[in-house]
Amino acid sequence: MANTEFGYVRNFEQRDALPPSNWIVVRIDGRGFTKLCKKYDFQKPNDKRALDLMNASATEVVKQFVDVVLAYGQSDEYSFILHENAGMFERRASKLATSISTAFTAEYCMQWPTFFPDQPLERPFPTFDGRCVAYPKRRILRDYLSWRQADCHINNLYNTTFWNMVLKGGMSTTAAEHALKGTVSSDKNEILFSQFGINYNNEPLIYRKGTVIFRAYDTESEVNGGSTTGKMPDPTSKSQMEKAKKRKQKARIAVEHVDIIGPSFWDAHPYILGTNTAKGSTE
Amino acid sequence: MANTEFGYVRNFEQRDALPPSNWIVVRIDGRGFTKLCKKYDFQKPNDKRALDLMNASATEVVKQFVDVVLAYGQSDEYSFILHENAGMFERRASKLATSISTAFTAEYCMQWPTFFPDQPLERPFPTFDGRCVAYPKRRILRDYLSWRQADCHINNLYNTTFWNMVLKGGMSTTAAEHALKGTVSSDKNEILFSQFGINYNNEPLIYRKGTVIFRAYDTESEVNGGSTTGKMPDPTSKSQMEKAKKRKQKARIAVEHVDIIGPSFWDAHPYILGTNTAKGSTE
Amino acid sequence: MANTEFGYVRNFEQRDALPPSNWIVVRIDGRGFTKLCKKYDFQKPNDKRALDLMNASATEVVKQFVDVVLAYGQSDEYSFILHENAGMFERRASKLATSISTAFTAEYCMQWPTFFPDQPLERPFPTFDGRCVAYPKRRILRDYLSWRQADCHINNLYNTTFWNMVLKGGMSTTAAEHALKGTVSSDKNEILFSQFGINYNNEPLIYRKGTVIFRAYDTESEVNGGSTTGKMPDPTSKSQMEKAKKRKQKARIAVEHVDIIGPSFWDAHPYILGTNTAKGSTE
Amino acid sequence: MANTEFGYVRNFEQRDALPPSNWIVVRIDGRGFTKLCKKYDFQKPNDKRALDLMNASATEVVKQFVDVVLAYGQSDEYSFILHENAGMFERRASKLATSISTAFTAEYCMQWPTFFPDQPLERPFPTFDGRCVAYPKRRILRDYLSWRQADCHINNLYNTTFWNMVLKGGMSTTAAEHALKGTVSSDKNEILFSQFGINYNNEPLIYRKGTVIFRAYDTESEVNGGSTTGKMPDPTSKSQMEKAKKRKQKARIAVEHVDIIGPSFWDAHPYILGTNTAKGSTE
């Protein structure tokens, strides 16, 4: 950029690098999706096409940003998890948030015709806001992901019950809302089963659990190859980082609808949140 | 969002509201546009279609975000200026940066076929990163805009000379680069004129000045109607803010290629950076 | 500092420079002064010795930190104003806040025996917390100072009335508190006058207005000599900055109890918040 | 504070709470201590009285701030470590930094006569700047402390050699500086031993290791009693927090000159950095 008499204005730019050794979550949320759902007549309580579009878009984002170790999505939101040692964009919050949210938006708009072939997009086009949050411990990052998946469950159970009452039960939305006020999970399960013959636990996993996307390493050698090399990215071994990047680019992208609150998923894929550090491996 | 045992993770979200009474610049930049230019064979030194696409996208963003008082673009970048009293998204930096950059990205991707009908977009789709900067004084904001327009001029003069030497003069890019090293503006003007018969000052304004987009109020009543009401947005007069918003939405969007370094443009449109404050109008 | 294998921990230090071209307020507040007042039996509603000690301490701080253009104090608080162009400690918030608050604390403790000769200080020793706030406009800085002086007035009027009712009127503190609930300024003035024969406007200015401390330039040449040279401190003219520093160190320190809400004080001392900038002098 | 028309200026105060679940270091440094050392004729390479004064001051600070779990000092600096779950001042950086640095400064000034009975303090009085740094992992906090202790060792070995060469060896400071350029630790050990008959390892521990201050719990019940109760301070059990506070206030304050780089110290006092969390105890 030109170094003129006006160049001093650069001094007003604030540094916004996220602190090292923190897991970074970039969460994006659909902007004004309530209107969008109505406009394109999304099915209630879940529109499979819309979820598939979210997941297809997120898959491309995970492919493109190799520092993303896992993504979790539900409804019109997606959380992209960057490794605590990730060095992408020098961990600058605004670069991370805008790069990931614009990449997601571009995919969503461009892939729309594949999932909604009969409904061309009109203005305002779908967009997503985004933000970064830093989590200092693996355990707390796990709690973050549990928080989102618990949210998915609670909302889906409510919505499934609500829309069955309205669409099959013939209730007004106001009446259904009123009827559900104060109910707990078991109440909703009971309503679904007794009134509509629905066993909630048989509902599709994609609705109940949301979607988990990650690089899957199917053999031991892939995992070891993919290891990071220490508590701080080693700037001297650029060749090693290049190798790691290529391996990540070639990795299979897994898209699953599984529980990530309990330990099973993490025990089966220890490399996702793994850190090969010389010391401090217990932290 | 669900208020479960995991809800504590929200406490890690940091507030990022920009300070009040500062002009906000959201600048977006094309990511990896050097590759993109090559892939879609953009013309050198300027590709009119690409600039028109940038401007068409920015126009829609200005329409959509009524707190934007002016936008300035050149090359693959655009700066959106929010009024120092703007209250959009409670001035949260990440919301502002991601909302504007995803809106721009969506427009760019969706309008692409209009400007490049024979070249369908392929992955990686064009995206834009973004950032917010706060400027405490109108005078410094003006310097920011001057900085960008001076940058436009310097780059365009260089590029125009360089590509004439290469494309018309038959020089290699290395030779042209070498020949231009250490030259000043008058040298480049001379090369253009003596070797290629080009008077730089006759080059199209869009290339030399970039593009300015703003809401144009053509009558006095429009201007007064559009006034903000004080140094802090008055939360009590929601109806007035609604009115102002509607008026902004109806305003004509002007797209011009003019000098914004000197005072003429600003003298002709005093309302763009105007603030109707009870006191302190000189600051 | 040692550059060992542990040196990476420095990367966790966050930059905290305050934005350029903003007026900086460092406000310090006595910690736990309610207890301190009781312990050393401060007089009610105002203890002249305690205020004199605050002012004597602040005077030394103003002398020591030449970038402070004015200080305003009342009760157990003091606000130190740094010029919008001040470069001290590269405008780092933590350096500014801790340097000024520890300098004030040291003065307060060391000068204590002068003002309270019969009451040696005991643990916990008096301390002051501090914080920095950036104000983007001179007008808003003025409003900040008005805010503090209005606070001084409101509290002093209340306290003067309250303690007269208790000490002279023989009311219990609870009764006095109850009696004053919901009263406005004129009510309190009336109580003071009719019940205790006190014309509030004749109360000492130090109680009603607080204390203003500033470098006084009594001749025109002093003022011009003390001018800063542009919108950004010019790093090339170190000699000029050195000269300015010396002149500030020699300046007379004025300690006054005057109104700073109205324009008179500022009109009489235009250099205090003055900025000699080539352009933008109106902002 | 008065809620007047000026109250809006409060909106310019930025929140500066440090992120939860991070260890907080408040490090203070003597301001201008090179001059101070000369003025009061501190002994070289170490002045025992000055170090004792630093340690006596830090001891009082540790007593006063019960959220401090450990303090480490050397030369004219001290680092106060707050537990990762500490809630003091809502973890606001400026409150923490200024409260601790003013408390330290007050102690240093007030205790000065005890350690330097013949040299009354003169202006400028000793002060200390301070800053907060957040460390996301216990392991990294340990590295921070190792960094400071390694720094102590390196500086002390250099200074001990340098001042022996000057004071006993009769070299000029310039000659000694020149002679030491490029030497490694073993070279300095050799110089000390062969030229001055000094075995560096027999030098006092306070000089070689610095000073560690912590609350010592000598029995198991004290430790358990002192436990925090979970990953987030439980706001519902105020009584428990009060109890913990009282126990901390009664605890013996240990002042030791020991190695804290290796594991022995930490193994012997596991409660210092201990966290009783229901889950995630390994992190």
Would you say D155 and D46 are in contact if contact means Cβ atoms under 8 Å apart? no
Closest residue in chain B to residue C138, using alpha carbons only: B283
Q: What is the pLDDT of residue C239?
A: 80
Q: Which of C11, C15, C20 sits opposite A12 (nearest CB)?
A: C20
Q: What is the pLDDT of residue A41?
A: 97
Helix (H) or strand (E) holding C252: strand C252-256
Helix (H) or strand (E) holding D172: none
Interval C70-106: pLDDT, tens: 999 999 999 999 999 999 999 999 999 999 999 999 9
Q: Going edge to edge, which strands form the sheet with A128-135?
A: A128-135, A23-30, A77-82, A68-74, A211-216, A252-256
Higher pLDDT, B88 or C228: B88
- The angle, 0 to 180 degrees and rounded to 10, between the axes of the packed helices B138-163 and B185-196 is 40
Domains of chain C and CATH, by start: 14-150+205-209 (3.30.70.3000)
From chain D, pick out residues whose CB is under 8 angstroms from the CB of A231.
Answer: 140
Please state, in angstroms and as integers, the Cα–Cα distance from residue C232 to each residue in B24, C82, C87, C140, D52, following that order.
20, 14, 9, 20, 44
Beta-carbon contacts of residue C256 (< 8 Å; ≥ 6 apart) = C211, C212, C213
Q: What is the pLDDT of residue D115?
A: 98
What is the least distance, in Å, from the CA of D281 to any CA of chain B?
17
C66 pLDDT band, cuts 50/70/90, is very high
- The ipTM estimated for the assembled molecules is 0.92
Q: Which of D129, D157, D158, D184 to mutate to test the interface with C (most CBs of C within 10 A)?
A: D129
Interval A64-122: pLDDT, tens: 999 999 999 999 999 999 999 999 999 999 999 999 999 999 999 999 999 999 999 99
Taking the C-alpha atoms of residue A257 and residue A46, their distance in angstroms, rounded to an integer, is 15
Closest residue in chain D to residue B13, using alpha carbons only: D19
Q: Does B280 touch chain C (CB under 8 A)?
A: yes
Q: Does B90 touch chain C (CB under 8 A)?
A: no
Taking the C-alpha atoms of residue A172 and residue B189, their distance in angstroms, rounded to an integer, is 74
From chain A, pick out residues whose CB is under 8 angstroms from the CB of B144.
Answer: 6, 9, 12
Please state, in angstroms and as integers, the Cα–Cα distance from residue C148 to each residue in A131, C209, C211, C259, following that order.
36, 10, 11, 11
Q: Do A232 and C8 touch (CB under 8 A)?
A: yes
Q: Which of A8, A19, A232 sits opposite C232 (nearest CB)?
A: A8
From start to end of A125-210, where are the E strands?
128-135
Q: What is the pLDDT of residue C1?
A: 43
Interval D156-193: pLDDT, tens: 999 999 999 999 999 999 999 999 999 999 999 999 99
Residue C30 marked as a ligand binder = yes
Q: Does C98 touch chain D (CB under 8 A)?
A: yes
Both tokens of C273, joined, read 């918040």
Profile chain B (283 residues) by mean pLDDT over runs of 10 residues.
80 97 98 97 97 98 97 98 97 98 98 98 98 98 98 98 97 97 97 97 98 88 50 57 83 96 97 66 41
From chain A, pick out residues whose CB is under 8 angstroms from the CB of B156.
Answer: none
Interval A252-265: pLDDT, tens: 999 999 999 999 99
Q: Do A231 and C8 touch (CB under 8 A)?
A: yes
Beta-carbon contacts of residue C132 (< 8 Å; ≥ 6 apart) = C18, C24, C25, C26, C93, C96, C97, D94
Residue with tokens 């002398």: C63
DSSP C128: E
Q: Do C22 and B134 touch (CB under 8 A)?
A: no
Q: Do A143 and B98 touch (CB under 8 A)?
A: no
Both tokens of D282, joined, read 């390994």
Taking the C-alpha atoms of residue A274 and residue C198, their distance in angstroms, rounded to an integer, is 75
Beta-carbon contacts of residue C94 (< 8 Å; ≥ 6 apart) = C16, D93, D94, D97, D129, D130, D131, D132
Q: Do D231 and B8 touch (CB under 8 A)?
A: yes
Would you say A24 and A132 are in contact if contact means Cβ atoms under 8 Å apart? yes
